[in-house]
Every structure is written in structure tokens, then in C-alpha cells.
Amino acid sequence: MEITETALNYNTASFNSPCLYEKVVAEYLRDPTLKVTDLIQRLGDVSIEKIIMIHLGMQRDPNVMEKFTSDMYPRYLLVRYFSSLISDMVSDPEYFQKILNNEPISSRRLEVHITGGVCPYNCQMCLWRIGEGGKYIELKEGKGILSNDKWKEVIRQSKELGTKIIIFSGGGEPLMAKGIGEIIREAKKLGMTTLMYTNGRLITSLREKEKETYDDILNLDWLRVSIHGATPDTYSKIIQRDPSYRDFEEVKKGINYLIKDKNPEMKVGCGFVIQKGNFFEVEKMADLARQLGVDFLNFRTDCVDATEGLSPEERAQLLESLRKIRENLHKRYYEKTLIDFSDNLIALMNGDEINQIRIPEECRVHFYRAAISPTGRVAVCDLTAEPHYSSPEYTIGWIDDNTDFSTVIKNGSRRIFRTKYCKYCMPGQQSINAIWDKLIHDAEVGILPKNQPFYFRS
């Protein structure tokens, strides 16, 4: 049966088709994280077995996959998270069972902040900049920076406890960390996937002066350069550095080197956080990404209101520019560069206010992407690993001379973290929490990850 464009209207408020399959698809379009028990309550007298059959149909339906993964659908990033997570849980059912049993497991993705807040920039939206000196508050309290040997121990132990992906980010600029290369090598030696978020300023210098470290960077699987301005003037204002440093030019040069030197499997892209100081350059940024030949460009918003908001007129200008980018994207104007937008931006481009994701009582982000601060705080997410947003309610434990990562995880395996204490939960974390809530609740009524609707196989 073909799912029509009308039936899958992205902004539909109701769906009157008598076909149960279409009704289920429509309910998931409204909320991909809808728990099966709630779905059945809405549909009436439907068995779990019937829902599973419909889910299996959705998995193989190219029309369904196309609609849920289209950049016209204002939950497509959420569905991408969901689909990837389901595939991972299907490939490793033992890990999922350990979660259900409250056994000690490490986050599937582990973000490590290894620099202690060191960075030449002073970006307006940086989470380590907020609070004037917040970067170093834990150092003042006597918490020391973890050594490279300790970080390598963390990576080894995380691998043993289930981590598959190491993300180098936060805590400052990761390329300023002494010994970053040896830590990357440790993760690669263990067969782990490695990702990095960087401002890219030091890439050229490393290529010219520290060839071994540069080669280690080229051995990453994925690297995203934060570049929040498409012209030298805007870029300098965002990072709050004098234009005489020629930072913009140096970053572009570094990206060009990466594109030239990298192996075909490595993905290199850019991230652009839209804010008052740069919203007028989104089209230029898309053009720049195309000129640089990067693999991807992520447009995101300031999710914790670290910067000044846009006026209604500025917002209208932004949306017009984003719609032009999306239109050009559909025409393949940007060639090999894939551009994606956060879900809230897609909803705004569609002229629709996105439905609020339901927030479960329990926070489970740490199953997907926990983070460790430079001083050893093991936090449930990357935001709560930052000094300004950290709190005991979202700290799994501390790594120090007497306590290793494995011990922290074992001691914290039965802790329950409540979402009600978090004032700044970002959209990505909200989505991940809702996804885990569905997966766990559905498993309790007999629907395992392999029978979820977004385990796409067409």
C-alpha cells in the first residue's frame, strides 16, 4: 500500500483514513517517541501482535522512510537518532538487556573534555565562557586535570563497559591538549570510532610543526569545525578576537588541508550556531561549505540562550534565507556537501510551531552520550559536564587518584536521574530521553528494538 503525500502531511492535525496502517504512521508522524501502550490507547482495541506487524511493514516501506527522514519533516533529526540507536541495539542485544537489568554499562558514545578550558577564542555562545571564570571553578576547588595516562585508562575501561564511540570535545579546544594524538591512537587501537569538535585554528600549525599529531587527526572517523561566521569580520566578532590574527583565513586554510590530506572514509564538516551576530550570513555559510568541499554542514540554534535572541524582523529574514538553502539543497546545488538543520529550524521553515517532545521523569541520556570534564566529573550529558551547568543531581561520580572510571560506573549503575532538576535540557537530550523512554517501556510489553518502526531496512 502506498502512503500518499496527503496522508503524510507534516503539519496534519488529524487523520481520518480507516486504514490502521496509515493511522499508526500518522500517530508516529506527530510523535515518533509515542509509547506503544499510548498508541494502542489512541487506536482502540488493537493487539501488540498487530502493532508489531505494522512496525515491520514500516521498516520496509520506502515511502515511510522517505517521509520520516526528509528535511521537510520537523522531527527528522530525532528519527535519525532513533534509527541509529535501534540499529545499534539490534546489533548488540546484550547491551540493551544490561540496561533493562540496571547492570553497569558505559555510555554508547562517550564525550571527553580534555583541555581544562584552554582556548584562544572567547566565543559568545561558548558554554565554558559563561559566568566569568566558570571554566576554572573546579580547579580552584582542588580538582586536578586528568593526565593523559588517566584518559587512556578511561578509554580502555569504557570500551570494556560498552562504549563504541569516543568524542573529543568541550572543555576548551581539544587540539590544544598536549598528547591529544596518543589519546586518539589509544581509541583507534581498541577499534573505537572517533569524533572531534574543534575550532580548527591549529590544524595548519600541527600539519607544519607536529606531523605525528596531524596524522593522528587524519585517522579520526569524523571531524567538525565550528565556524560561526562566513566572513572575516563576522567571524572575529563571534570569537571576540582582533581581525589582525587572521583566524578566519587560518581556519579555512586548515579545512582545505584536511580535505586534501584525509582518507576517503573520514568525514570533515562544519557546524554553524545561528545567533544575532551571524544569522544574516547563513546563505554565505552554505556557499562557503560548498566552496570548501566539506562533507556536511550543520545549522543549529543557541539552545541555552547564551546569546541575545533575534527580533521578529531578524527571524523572518533568517527563515527566508534558510528556505532558500533548503530549496538549493533539493536542487543539489551544494554538490557533495550535505546540509542539515535542527528540528526546530525545520518547523519554523514550514511555518509551524513544533510539538513539544514529552519529557519523561527519568533522564537516561548517559546511556547514549555521557561526558567527562577535564577534572574527572562523569556527567550524564555534555552540558552537565560544563562547570556552569554542572550539579550533583547529574553527576554520576568523580574520577581521581583513588577512583577509576570503571568504579564510577559500577557505583552509579543503579542511580536514577530525574529530569525535573534540569533547567537547561537541550533539544537533542530531550529527544534522546524520549527515545530511551519508548524503547524501555515498549520492551516491557514485548516490543524489542528489532520490532520498532524506525529500524529501516528498505
Domain identity same for 132 and 242: yes
233 inside domain: yes
Model pLDDT, residue 4: 36
Domain identity same for 211 and 73: no
Give the chain's mean pLDDT: 91
The cell numbers describing 324, all together, are 532558500
The cell numbers describing 404, all together, are 577509576
Last residue of a domain, one of 349, 380, 398: 349
Structural domains counted in the chain: 2
The residue with cell 586535570 is 145
Q: What's the whole-number mean pLDDT along residues 277-283?
A: 97
What is the spatial distance between Cα 38 and Cα 28, in angstroms, rounded to a whole number? 11
385 inside domain: no
282 inside domain: yes
98 inside domain: no
Domain identity same for 82 and 158: no
Q: Tell me how far the alpha carbon of residue 247 is from its chain's centroid.
A: 26
Q: Is the pLDDT of residue 5 over 60?
A: no
245 inside domain: yes
pLDDT digits (tens, 9 = 90+) for 86-132: 999 999 999 999 999 999 999 999 999 998 778 889 887 787 765 55
Domain identity same for 323 and 223: yes
Query: What global pTM score does this model have?
Result: 0.93
- Any idea what the CATH number is for the domain that residue 242 is in? 3.20.20.70
pLDDT band at 135 (very low <50, low <70, confident <90, very high): low
What is the spatial distance between Cα 151 and Cα 148, in angstroms, rounded to a whole number? 5
Last residue of a domain, one of 349, 377, 404: 349
Q: Tell me, what amino acid is at 154?
A: V
Find the domain containing 82 and state its range: 20-91+435-451
